[in-house]
A = this chain, B = another copy of it.
Amino acid sequence: MIEAVTSEKIEDRAGDEAGWLVVVGLGPGPDRWLTPAASAVLDAATDIIGYGPYTARLPARAGCEVHASDNRVEIERARHALELASAGRRVAVVSGGDPGVFAMAAAVFEAIEHGPVAWRGLDIRVEPGVTAMLAAAARVGAPLGHDFAAISLSDNLKPWEIILRRLRLAAEADLVIALYNPVSRARPDKLREAFAALGAIRAPETPVIMARAVGRPDERIALTTLGEAPGIEADMATVVIIGSSETRLIARSGTPFVYTPRSYGAAR
């Protein structure tokens, strides 16, 4: 089966009288990382729906209703958004970072798949953004400069054994690894378990970056090693990047740069 998606087909938009739903990536936080395309969607929306801390970032817009919700109800939030779009509203569902990476876009499509058939005919789009690992990497150099994996440690929806298996295989593949959702109340020690699993394969001096709230006033970035990383605190706003065997530091006055060379074997 081959289906061609042309730019024209996707961008053909119904008139203003029809509702639409766009899942919008706000980037990691500051307005300077919000794309003009994302801004334009927010300006055109009649309704903005999202997790409270994300909707709180946005300035009030005249004639736009903001629906802030708790993080735990992603699928209900998605259904609510789809109902509003069905009723002719212009709905922006907002996520931090990129909405397609461990965020609201998958929840919206899940709701569509299991919802009324009419939802499949709605004008639904996703507007990409700068995801947290890219901003975190940029802060310290270029640790994602070579092959990498992005893995969520959230075990709400995925067995912990699957997560550990993926971590081990990614480490065996010598990929740089970015961890999202590194902590939770239900499993406070899971990040330490993840470090232990990786430490069985990768050297203790492997560079590790723990980047919290990148670009926001409460940003905090720690550069450490796999051996020492378990001693550093992380929260749900933290993204963790574990280097490959090739990832290296460039010493200088102040914090070293961290990067993964483009050539395999350059670091040996």
Contact = CB atoms under 8 A, between A and B. Distances in A.
Contact of A148 (B34, B109, B113, B150): B150
Interface string A130-142: 1100110111111
A186 interface: no
A163 B100 CA distance: 26
Contacts of A146: 102, 106, 152, 158
Contact of A262 (B157, B228, B232, B250): B157
Contacts of A261: 106, 110
B222 A112 contact: no
A27 B127 CA distance: 13
A127 B134 contact: no
Given A4-B222, A112-B250, 18 more contacts: A2-B223, A4-B221, A7-B215, A7-B217, A10-B255, A27-B35, A98-B130, A100-B134, A100-B138, A100-B142, A106-B262, A108-B142, A110-B259, A113-B259, A126-B138, A126-B142, A128-B137, A169-B173
Interface of A: 1-7, 9-10, 23, 25, 27, 30-37, 40, 74, 98-103, 105-110, 112-113, 120-121, 124-131, 134-135, 137-152, 157-159, 162, 165-166, 169-170, 172-175, 215, 217, 219-225, 228, 232, 248, 250-257, 259-266
